[in-house]
Structure 1
Amino acid sequence: MPDPQDPIEAAGMVAREIRDSERDGAATKVLVARRAYRADQADVWDALTSPERLPRWFLPVSGDLEVGGRYQFEGNAGGVVERCDAPDSLAATWEFGGQVSWMTVNLSKGEGGTVLELVHEAVVDPAMWSQYGPGAVGIGWDGSLYGLGVYLETGTPLDGAEFEAWMTGPGGVAFARLTGGGWAQAAVDAGDDRAAADAALENVVAFYTVAPPEEPEA
């Protein structure tokens, strides 16, 4: 079995799918990621929904984590909790940069653990899709699925800054290329042109792995 604590091996544990859909009359792209974890469903659910545990593998969260309440991840997305059917499924809006998309997480029992299905639906600017493809969102979700896996395996909180620094090195480039390539293949399977998907892959790998410029000293 692949090592869930190795980012490259863990990337191969994710099944990826893309579908075209529609919401409120607007065309949407639906990204689906599935991965099995060697943990009880109740434990996975608690790691996903507990404000005390979320920062250990993702980000600090504030707000009201009840249906109808608003939540906010520190420095990232926020939104409204739309549905919560413990311990099987939750749904929320995912609001970032002035854009609103929709996220659903489904849990089910699998052989030796729990299967997590993440569904992210968004209205996508065609120019943005052409430039970066599904990896613009997908690589980030892959990183989160990896972080959750390490935390569930070890119980040790992750160092987000350390992972971001790792992403700019050879290991991070390999991770971005592998996960981004998986999303590019899913796009091709859904009908995208291969050459266009490959060009977008190069752009999105660079986006995730180039270190930000250092701020000048005061």
Structure 2
Amino acid sequence: MDIAQEINAVSREVRGQTVLVSRGYVAEVEDVWEACTDPERLARWFMPVTGDLRPGGHYQIEGNAGGTILRCDPPRVLRVSWVFGEMPPSEVEVRLTPVEGGTRFELEHSNLAEDEHWEQFGPGAVGVGWDLTIYGLGVQLAGLRNDPGWGTSPEAADYMRTSAAAWGAAHEKSGETHERAVAAAERTASFYAPGGG
């Protein structure tokens, strides 16, 4: 993997307590939609998802977040509530737009709580996870697979550290001071990739 190329392929924005990530894929919008909503395909690149997968129904990501499906307009918009552990509920919306040569994928995670967690890690706390998700989706859409141990490999650790730094830059661009944005990004990098260099 070319880490710099993968990181630079993603646009990151912080708007208050909202993070927005976007990336283009060389795939038809229907294929991207199916990869994001079909439980069998999701399990290949994201995590297993179960539940009543329809508007108003509840979903659960194995070992992760769950919530309610708030909006489902195939193949363009999926919006869900996002409940993870003891964190206050937030919302995630995926938007797909056909563009020349493929699909523009946008993910907006909104209503993130400005609390001790945000103070400590900033937007990278969720941002690095979404970067990993976007990378995994790209691998799946290309018909490839990462090795089973990729998530704990040195390459993955480099990717997560680079992602955390990119989120620190987006945080600073949104108005946070350089010192606070860098400190939060460094704490995020240490969380995702302990012992990094």
Q: Matches of 2:169 and 2:107 in 1, distance apart?
A: 18
How far apart are residue 66 of structure 1 and its match? 0.1
Paired residues of 2:96 and 2:106 also in contact (CA < 8 A):
yes
Q: Which residue of 2 aligns with 1:24?
A: none
1:55 paired to 2:51 = no
Q: Matches of 1:98 and 1:121 in 2, distance apart?
A: 17
Structure 1 pair 148/6, CA: closer, same or farther in 2 (3 Å)?
A: farther
1:191 paired to 2:167 = no
Paired residues of 1:31 and 1:138 also in contact (CA < 8 A):
yes
1:182 paired to 2:166 = yes
Residue 117 of structure 1 is aligned with which of 99, 106, 109?
106
Q: Which residue of 1 aligns with 2:115?
A: 126
Paired residues of 2:161 and 2:192 also in contact (CA < 8 A):
no
Residue 41 of structure 1 is aligned with which of 29, 41, 57?
29
- Following superposition of structure 1 onto structure 2, how do residues 16-35 of structure 1 map, counting pairs within 5 Å? 16-20=12-16, 29-35=17-23
Q: Matches of 1:188 and 1:210 in 2, distance apart?
A: 23
1:207 paired to 2:191 = yes
Q: Which residue of 1 aligns with 2:152?
A: 165
Paired residues of 1:8 and 1:174 also in contact (CA < 8 A):
no
How far apart are residue 7 of structure 1 and its match? 4.3
Count of residue pairs brought into register by the alignment: 194
Q: Which residue of 2 aligns with 1:214?
A: none
Q: Matches of 2:178 and 2:113 in 1, distance apart?
A: 19
Residue 91 of structure 1 is aligned with which of 75, 79, 85?
79
How far apart are residue 209 of structure 1 and its match? 0.7
Q: Which residue of 1 aligns with 2:139?
A: 150
Q: Matches of 2:194 and 2:14 in 1, distance apart?
A: 26
Q: Structure 2: which amino acid aligns with 1:114?
A: T
How far apart are residue 113 of structure 1 and its match? 0.5
1:102 paired to 2:91 = yes
Aligned-residue CA RMSD in angstroms? 1.6
Paired residues of 2:51 and 2:57 also in contact (CA < 8 A):
yes
- TM-score (structure 2 length as normaliser): 0.92
Residues 100-148 of structure 1: CA distance to partner in whole angstroms, max 9, x if unpaired? 1100000001221100000001332432222111111100100000000
Q: Structure 2: which amino acid aligns with 1:91?
A: R
Structure 2 counterpart SS, 1:96: coil
- Note the residue ranges of structure 2 that are not aligned, 5 or more in a row: none
Q: Matches of 2:64 and 2:149 in 1, distance apart?
A: 18
Structure with the greater alpha carbon radius of gyration: 1
